[in-house]
Amino acid sequence: MAGFNDIINDFTGINSHILIIIYALLIYFYSDNMNMLKHILITAFVLSIFDMYLKHILLFNIEDDYHIFIINNIITIITIDILITSIHDKNNPKLTILNYFNIAIACLFYETIVYKLYNYNNLCNQRLRSITKTIMRLATIHILSNYLSGNDFDDIWYNFSFSQLFNFTLFNSIFEE
């Protein structure tokens, strides 16, 4: 399966390295206003960086082991969250071990409980199943980890969570086959 940057490259004809620079420039230009757009651009930038460089370094290559799949998902979500949070605000109180432990627990909860209870295979076509799975995964992780951390469900949480849901859902709806 092609990565995020390969699909964007095929779709737009823009080289992945140039695309990252475009994301960075858009983040810079929209950093003072339009907070939601800033979150969406930062998330797209981090997804590109993760897809191009980090996933090959951080993730295990074993594909048929369910436990490795869960560990890879936890590593992916935590890495993307750390990068997004640190790019957006280096002094954010979310940058703590306890917060990321809560995110890991929320990922584990989703993968072992919610995913198993919700039967995606009999729902509908593959694209809609993929979109539904992505929305449920991220919503469960964002809500449960925020609750476990004792944080408020405020505008900052909403903008951050919605931008990730939006980007991942947009990716699944447009680029997944």
The residue with greater pLDDT, 20 or 109, is: 109
Question: Residue 177 has what pLDDT?
Answer: 55
The CA–CA distances, whole Å, from 36 to 26, 131, 155, 177 equal 13, 21, 10, 28
Residue ranges per domain, the chain? Answer: 4-175
Tokens of residue 60, six digits: 């295990």
d(CA 97, CA 88): 18
Residue 99 confidence (pLDDT): 87
Measuring CA to CA, which residue among 162, 130, 131, 139 is closest to residue 43? 162
Q: How many CA atoms lie within 13 A of 77 on its CB side?
A: 28
**Nearest by Cα to 29 from 17, 41, 18, 19:** 41
Mean residue pLDDT across the chain: 78
- Mean pLDDT over 141-153 rounds to 87
In angstroms, the CA 50 to CA 175 distance is 17
Q: Model's pTM, two decimal places?
A: 0.65
Residue 119: what pLDDT?
57
How do residues 29-56 score in pLDDT, each as one tens digit? 666 656 767 777 788 888 888 888 888 8
User: Which band of pLDDT confidence, cut at 50, 70 and 90, is reported for residue 22?
Assistant: confident
At residue 107, the pLDDT reads 87
Tell me the per-residue pLDDT of 78-133, one tens digit each, with 9 for 90 and over: 998 899 888 887 788 878 888 899 889 988 888 887 776 665 556 556 667 777 77
Share of the chain above pLDDT 90, in %: 3
